[in-house]
Amino acid sequence: MITGKNYIGEELSDNGDIKFRTFNPRENKETSPTFFEASKEEVNLAVEKASQAFELYKNKTNSEVAKFLEAIASALEANGEALKAIYREESGLPEGRSNGEFARTTGQLRAFAEMLKEGSWVEAIISNPEGKPDIRRMQVPYGPVAVFGASNFPFAFSTAGGDTASALASGSPVVVKSHPLHAGTGELVSQAIIQAAKKTGMPDGVFSNLNSKGIEVGEWLVKHPKIKAVGFTGSYKAGTALSKLAAARPEPIPVFAEMGSVNPVVALPSSLEEKGEEWAEQYAGSITAGCGQFCTNPGLILGIESPSLDHFIENLGENLANIAPDVMLSPGIQGQYETSKSGVLSQEGYNPVGKYVGEIQPNFGRQEVISVTGETFLENTNFHKEVFGPFSVIVKCKNKEQLNEVLQQLEGQLTGTVLNSDQKELQDYKGVIDSLTATVGRIIYNSVPTGVEVCAAMTHGGPFPATSNAKFTSVGLTAVQRWVRPISYQDWPDELLPDALKDKNPLGILRNINGKYTTDSL
């Protein structure tokens, strides 16, 4: 049942004066529940509860926290059909997407649980050579974390998504600012988290969920002195604004913001000569997947002038024109897409490649691709900008040198892709590939960038402005490293050390002892 209220720890609250509803973009109408935006007092109470909970939660064992994460996954699955139904109603996303994203959400919760059971994530290091101080180091949680739900992933990057799962795994309580586009989904997910917290004996305040239509709740959260870190997925404008707020605090805190990308794709000559038509079909699908509302959407495709590039462009345009458009997440996002697209299309010097020309329903996104020369792209940075939606720019470079120059002018990106059919060619383009690698967090070979695998090796991040901190990932098991800090114990009695650092290694974890990785005891 959706109440529209805020979860302040385990308690429901509706003290705020501002009310709002979510919107079904596919049916072009408001949904029925009314939601109460959190008041400043409710924000303060949620953070105070989180701070008190931290004193208990940080001392929970890895096994206890793992059971909590597994219980969240099980509680979500127990109410899975209702959750997927409200997800689809509030986002307009199809059943297949709701099923896949739901499975990803429960899967990553269980993946962090397994990480905790294994235990080596604390990165225990012991240095005690004879005649030197005994120094032992490990990672410990920061404290309460504020998590901002993402518009385009109501499950996987929101209330119980990767930021929340990794923060809870670290031993940090979480206060979520629910995204207003899917507040109902957020509340039902919160119910599952609170249910799991009670079932596994977690302290009241280990999790809270705050509704918010405007920006004030987020600002109050980031500025609260007891919030110690922030997780955000969204626009560059919002991410940088939060980063500035956090940096201006008396005690600055880190904001781990994933802010988008154009995800350049370098199509080397051999790839278009050998598989140009195949790549045109795949990239038409990638550009329009999810109506282009993925942070890994291929917004920029680069190649060298040739008949094979021209043929690829022609085929891409034809494929694109034959794909039926889909709904965007909200009227506001659809409006922003049209505004951003119009800003690019108001520039001079581009050629149309392809677009859908038929009638579209309200809130649907009309896909479009254009091409420019390398010279035009270098001269006009308006063609570099991300357009959040099914839109891409193809850059026709004169030669390898201009291609490299274009890549060196790009800002930081989440992904970069190389398409290639002749590995010998890779040596000729080593400089180009090096330039691309220097700009991205993940470099892909012969695939499409859409889709982010949840695994230990994944980096979903990249140099600014793709993210606010290129050292970290928001997807995968190492995402937990955002919410911890190192601490060293010098000459402490063994019985007072955390289990991860004790002589006998009671956790049986892999540790670095005097430069050697081992599970042995001292």
Residue at 415 is within a domain: yes
CA 413 to chain centre: 13
Structure tokens, 138: 């490990």
pLDDT category at 416 given cuts 50, 70, 90 is very high
Q: Same domain, yes or no, for 271 and 252?
A: no
79 and 200 part of one domain: yes
As a whole number, mean pLDDT of residues 99-116 equals: 98
Pair (229, 300) in one structural domain:
no
Most distant CA atoms of the chain, gap in Å: 79
* pLDDT > 90 fraction of the chain, expressed in percent and rounded: 99
Asked if 333 and 236 sit in the same domain, the reply is no
Non-local CB neighbours of 352 within 8 Å, separated by 6+ positions: 317, 368, 370
130 carries an active-site annotation:
no
Answer yes or no: do 309 and 194 share one domain: no
Model confidence at 1, in pLDDT bands (50, 70, 90)?
Answer: confident
- For 371-391, write each residue's pLDDT tens digit: 999 999 999 999 999 999 999
Nearest Cα residue to 44 out of 221, 268, 256, 164: 221
The single residue of 42, 89, 187, 258 carrying the catalytic annotation is: 258
Residue 168 three-state SS: helix
Dump the DSSP string for 489-507: EES--GGGS-GGGSTT-TT
**Do 133 and 150 fall within a single domain?**
yes
Specify whether 284 is located in the same domain as 205: no
Does residue 218 sit in the same domain as residue 289?
no
Residues of the domain holding 68: 6-259+472-482
Residue at 457 is within a domain:
no
Rounded-to-integer distance, Cα 73 and Cα 66, Å? 11
Residues 284 and 211 in one domain: no
d(CA 487, CA 354): 56
- For the chain, the domain total comes to 2
Q: What is the pLDDT of residue 351?
A: 98
CATH number of the domain at 242, please: 3.40.605.10
Of these residues, 90, 101, 291, 295, which one is catalytic? 295
pTM of the model: 0.96
Same domain, 213 and 303: no
Residue 435 lies in a domain: yes
| CATH of residue 405 | 3.40.309.10
**Which pLDDT value is given to residue 366?**
97
Query: 77 and 114, same structural domain?
Result: yes
Residue 270, in any domain of the structure: yes
Residues 6+ apart with CB under 8 A from 373: 349, 395, 396, 397, 398
**Same-domain status, 223 and 269:** no
